[in-house]
């Protein structure tokens, strides 16, 4: 009986104090890698989010870390087989002439738009459409020596969709007679790529009438 009364009169132990967790700042770790290919740069990024919390009591000190890692990969872009196309308008035109010189019509085909118009002023009508233009260049390559090559004398690079070129033909490293010319190219952007949509060639004439041409123009304009 005495032990029971003593037990009832003894102080009741208080519950442990409430512990409030303090949320530590979340840190972001970025693991990124960049890849570059022919003028294009791609970044593959993984985001790691880490958060930690700690608790302590008045009677004893203890800590526990609870870490959460979240992987958030950035979206990637899948390219097709034409990612090696040059980007600037002047580079496309240079590659166009290189393809003609190398007789690589497969490379030239990628640089020409499907509905391209190519106006060579030697011919009475322009060539319309990629297929018609490629057939013309195939006949052109088949009719000339492999030693006859286009040489670019000057090319404009300021405009992103229009290019002017002056050129001549070399035969075995020497200028070919009456082979100077100038060309103009208009480009369009389709599916994030530039392609030639229009071209015009003006070639040096073998016969140069000089002032006689002015007299002919004058006589015709006064009719």
Relative orientation angle of helices 89-101 and 130-143, to the nearest 10 degrees: 40
Would residue 43 count as lying in a domain?
Answer: yes
Would residue 26 count as lying in a domain?
Answer: yes
Tokens of 165: 């070129």
**pLDDT beyond 80 at 165:** yes
Do residues 115 and 46 both lie within one domain? no
Do residues 112 and 181 both lie within one domain? yes
CATH for 171: 3.10.450.50
pLDDT for position 5: 47
How many separate domains does the chain show?
A: 2
**pLDDT beyond 90 at 210:** no
- Nearest Cα to 136, choosing from 158, 112, 154? 112
pLDDT for position 102: 96
Do residues 100 and 167 both lie within one domain? yes
Report the share of the chain in percent with pLDDT over 70: 61
Rounded CA separation 185/117 (Å)? 10
Predicted confidence (pLDDT) per residue in 13-66, tens digit: 555 555 545 544 444 444 545 444 444 444 444 444 444 444 444 444 444 445
Q: Please state whether beta strands 22-23 and 53-54 pair in parallel, antiparallel, or not at all (unpaired).
A: antiparallel
Would residue 212 count as lying in a domain?
Answer: no
Do residues 57 and 111 both lie within one domain? no
Predicted confidence (pLDDT) per residue in 176-201, tens digit: 999 999 999 999 998 889 999 999 99
Do residues 68 and 150 both lie within one domain? no
Would residue 80 count as lying in a domain?
Answer: no
Least confident of 48-52, 95-99, 145-149: 48-52
**pLDDT beyond 70 at 207:** yes
Would residue 208 count as lying in a domain?
Answer: no
pLDDT for position 215: 85
Do residues 31 and 129 both lie within one domain? no
Do residues 96 and 190 both lie within one domain? yes
Would residue 189 count as lying in a domain?
Answer: yes
Would residue 38 count as lying in a domain?
Answer: yes
pLDDT for position 98: 96
The boundaries of the domain holding residue 115 are 89-203
Do residues 48 and 115 both lie within one domain? no
Residue scoring higher pLDDT (102 or 21)? 102
Q: Are 182 and 165 a contacting pair, CB within 8 Å?
A: yes
Do residues 148 and 45 both lie within one domain? no
pTM > 0.75: yes or no:
no
Would residue 223 count as lying in a domain?
Answer: no
């Amino acid at each position: 009986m005495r032990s029971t009364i003593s037990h009832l009169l003894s102080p009741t132990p208080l519950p442990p104090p409430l512990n409030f967790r303090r949320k530590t700042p979340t840190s972001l770790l970025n693991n990124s890698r960049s890849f570059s290919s022919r003028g294009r740069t791609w970044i593959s990024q993984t985001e790691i989010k880490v958060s930690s919390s700690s608790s302590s009591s008045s009677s004893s000190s203890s800590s526990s870390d609870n870490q959460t890692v979240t992987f958030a990969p950035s979206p990637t872009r899948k390219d097709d087989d034409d990612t090696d196309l040059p980007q600037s308008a002047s580079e496309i035109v240079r590659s166009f002439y290189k393809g003609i010189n190398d007789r690589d019509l497969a490379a030239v085909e990628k640089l020409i738009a499907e509905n391209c118009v190519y106006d060579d002023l030697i011919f009475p009508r322009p060539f319309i459409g990629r297929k018609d233009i490629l057939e013309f260049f195939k006949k052109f390559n088949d009719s000339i020596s492999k030693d006859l090559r286009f040489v670019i004398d000057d090319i404009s690079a300021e405009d992103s969709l229009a290019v002017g070129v002056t050129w001549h033909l070399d035969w075995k490293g020497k200028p070919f007679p009456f082979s100077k010319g100038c060309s103009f190219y208009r480009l369009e952007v389709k599916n994030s790529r530039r392609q030639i949509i229009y071209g015009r060639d003006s070639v040096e004439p073998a016969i140069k009438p000089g002032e006689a041409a002015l007299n002919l123009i004058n006589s015709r304009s006064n009719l």
